[in-house]
Amino acid sequence: MKFALALLAIVATASAKIEIPNFGRGELYKDIQDFLDLMPQEEILAITLQYYGEDKEFQTMIQYFQSKEFKNLVAEVEALPEIKILMNYIHDAGIDIYKIVNLLNDALGLPPLTPPSTLVLGTQITGGIKGYVKDILAILPSKELNDLYEKKLKTSEAFRSFIKQLESKNFQEIVNKVYVNPKFQALLKHAKDAGIDLIVLKDLLKILWGITVPGN
């Protein structure tokens, strides 16, 4: 139910600019915000809502996100020491990552984590998780995003440091530990049994961040 209410809340505020919660310090939140500002947010939301209303594979995924199994998986992932290291890094860089994560926890009924001190629907959708990713990628300003990425790597120490975190051994260890987690393996089996295509997400992680997800 909370997921449905959350979707309605998103619709109600769709015209509002999405802003990264921050402490007003550091440069990283400004770097991330620059990328968000390039995103066609209303179009992304429209596609997401259309998939939610029309696509069975997408609906199955959302149903799983509301399950006890997924809730337990999120709790176990959040308890990983490597996750705490990453979150504290982002927190110290000026982004209120705990506020963002706690929005998810609230929707799932999980306890909050404590930090250290107008839409147009009706377009043709491709269908399926692979189709959803394809439809979203099709509306993103890829050249502008790539140009901004390269610019930030050259001009922003905060952004370079953040990318190094994503490429670090610590982050890869997070991926490895989550992958072998029995609940995550159950998620993969659930997705496979439901016909949900997760390979495209695995490929995206490799292409965008160089993150290697184990397994076939």
From 6, 57, 48, 17, select the one nearest 139 (Cα to Cα): 48
DSSP state of 82: H
- Where do the domains of the chain lie? 4-208
Predicted confidence pLDDT, tens digits, the chain (216 residues): 555 455 445 444 444 566 776 655 677 888 888 888 888 888 888 898 999 899 998 888 888 888 888 888 899 989 888 888 888 888 888 888 898 899 889 988 899 998 876 344 455 667 777 777 778 878 888 888 888 989 998 999 998 998 888 888 888 888 888 888 888 888 778 777 767 666 766 776 666 656 677 765
Burial of 142 (0-12, 13-18, 19+ CB in 10 A): exposed
pTM over 0.85: no
Report H helices in the chain.
2-12, 28-38, 41-54, 56-65, 68-78, 81-92, 97-108, 128-139, 142-155, 157-166, 169-180, 182-193, 199-209
**Residue 200, CA distances (Å) to 47, 50, 131, 194 in order:** 18, 20, 10, 16
User: Mutual orientation of helices 68-78 and 182-193 as an angle, nearest 10°?
Assistant: 140
